[in-house]
Chains A and B, each alone.
Chain A
Amino acid sequence: MSGEQAGAAVEVLAQPEFGDEPGTVRELLLGTWRGRFGLAVVALFAFMALFGKAIAPYPPDASSLDVLAPPSIHHLLGTTESGADVLSQVLVGARVSIVVGLAAAAISAVLGSTVGLVGGYFGGWTDRGLDALENWFLVIPTLPLMIVLARLLNPSLTVLIAVIGLTSWAGTGRIVRAQVLTLRERAFVERARALGAGDGYIIRKHILPNTLPLIFANTVLIVAVAILSEAALSFLGLGDPTRISWGTMLENAFESGAPSAQAWWYVIPPGLCITVLVLAISILGYLFEEHVNPRLREHG
């Protein structure tokens, strides 16, 4: 899955047939099985990101002579190629994945909404230019673009965040722009303008508040995409070499011959964590999207 795909699935998962039309956010999260699942998983991983280091049974990179050992009472998920505890690495790795996911999504949200707001509100050549830029970012294959940027900049956590954030904002921009275009013509905006309000004031007081929920829902989806991107870049050796993340775990597992050693305990946990977390965040994202996107709501 990647940024391009996220949009397509939104429409599917946001179909009302998945559950009754929820009223409030609270009902949305707790009233459906999807909401409860998403919330529970995200809470679990958030806990890991915060306290993973503290609850890890071993220091995540403490080596031992027990290399690639299968799960045992001492190492519940076995050991890595250097004898480190897989469970501890999985617990600690949550932080990098989630930090990168959140930070990159934040950059993407700021960039995307700024471009969308400015383009949609002012229109004209500004809009055309920005729209072309958005189009370009939507068409260009994201992973190769991220690879090129990450390789030129030398790997570190900051570079990862920047690269992912800078390449995944276009979808947000597109959605925000569409929303702003409809808002701009609404009566209350017209009224404010007639009363002599400036552009800055209208954007701040009328456009932005009405766009924020949409930005938020979309950003939640971007978090999932960013987590996947971090994992893919790390797997390709473009991650931060000094930190353990699920992506670097998979890279190490692959590089050290875990497939040939049939070390399933080393391969499955990090990948499963990525999958489940991405799934849960996506589901939450779709729920929010469904809740705030008027077009999808009309559908039901």
Chain B
Amino acid sequence: MSGRWLAGKVAAALLTFAFVLVFNFFLFRVMGDPTTQLARLPQATPEELQQLRHNYGLDKPLMGQFVDYVGDTGRLDLGLSQRSRQPVWSEIKDALPWTLLLVGTGTLLATVIGSWLGVVAATRRGKRTDDGLLGFSLFTYAAPEYWIGIILILVFAVWIPIFPSGLQVTPGVQFSGFFSNAWDVAKHLVLPATAMTLMLLGQYFLIMRSSMVDVLTEDFITVKRATGLPWERVVRRHAVPNALLPLVTLSAIQFGAVVGGAITIETIFSWPGLGELSFQAINDKDFPVLEGTFLVFSAGVILANLLADCLYFYLDPRVQSR
């Protein structure tokens, strides 16, 4: 039953998220006593600390605290940033669209370019093109993305200064309209999105290549060729579509890596997204923000996995008929 299958997936995702909540709660409350983090008060008296604990509800029983925590999280009340004293959620809300933009562009480009190169390599298997592409993708796959980012800055922002290397938009400029604004953002997006694309590209290439190699040796392709269809047509219309399915699974697996990449790449390019926010929080020891970004990252990855499952379900008739 397909409905049941879907419901199971959703339940599993919810369970995973519940686990994240429990983990987050204990990690930040038990491992680091928030009172010592919330205020550095070397001269604080025991009474003042008690008051502080009371204000944060830390004198309640643990279960009560947990219920409060879940309730607050549900209301998107993630506490106050220690650094700016503003609600963590408002900082996350400002940063989220920029991360989605960067991650979305990077993933999209990596999928399209990676799978295209994969097809090219698979159809020229063993030739020099194949070897070259294979070497290139293995290299980008093993290389740290922030290292590639620094090199991109060095080459395209300093040596040949053709792209901006910091922020998401030219500061202090009055744009004449939406498009000139979007254009400016696009220019700033080039280098970070390239770094993100290079980081993800290798995987898509490798999967698409091997998937194509498998498909090309299957019987129905041989049959198609035998009917006299041109080779290109066979590849385009029959082999590629059948080789695409593993990419869907891969994109889900990749989301964890994407999130890690967002942290380092945003940091390097001063891209004002969630990754940069969490880097800032690492430096400032701003635990509420760190906790909040971790929660959002986890929720994002869980959601992405669920979506990929649904997508797979939607695309692959074999799952549906199960």
Contact = CB atoms under 8 A, between A and B. Distances in A.
Interface of A: 1-5, 7-9, 11-13, 15, 17, 132, 135-136, 139-145, 147-149, 151-153, 224, 228, 231-232, 235-238, 250, 253-254, 258-260, 262, 264, 267-268, 270-271, 274-276, 278-279, 282
Given A237-B282, A267-B154, A279-B142, A254 B263 contact: no
A252 to B, nearest CB: 12
A148 B294 contact: yes
A139 B305 contact: yes
B279 A236 contact: yes
Contact of A144 (B15, B125, B250, B298): B298
A153 B30 CA distance: 12
Interface string B225-266: 000000000000000000000000010011111011001100
Interface in B307-321: none
B4 to A, nearest CB: 19
Interface stretch (B74-82, B144-152, B167-175): B144-152
Instruction: Please report whether the interface of chain A is mostly helix, strand, loop or mixed according to DSSP.
Output: helix
A13 B135 CA distance: 12
B284 to A, nearest CB: 10
B263 A152 contact: no
Contact of A5 (B31, B150, B203, B282): B203
21 contacts: A4-B257, A8-B203, A9-B203, A12-B206, A132-B15, A141-B255, A143-B259, A144-B260, A144-B263, A144-B293, A148-B294, A152-B31, A153-B31, A236-B279, A236-B282, A237-B282, A254-B150, A260-B158, A279-B138, A279-B139, A282-B142
A267 to B, nearest CB: 5
B147 A267 contact: yes
A141 B260 contact: yes
B182 interface: no
Contacts of B263: 143-144, 147, 236
Given A140-B298, A147-B278, A271-B143, A264 B15 contact: no
Contact of A141 (B158, B213, B264, B298): B298
Given A144-B298, A262-B158, A271 B144 contact: yes
A113 to B, nearest CB: 22
Contacts of B19: 132, 136
Contacts of A142: 256, 260
Contact of B144 (A3, A147, A275): A275
Nearest to A228: B144
Contacts of A274: 142-144, 147
B260 A268 contact: no
Contacts of B291: 148
Contacts of B282: 147, 151, 236-238
Contacts of A282: 142
Nearest to B298: A140
Contacts of A153: 31
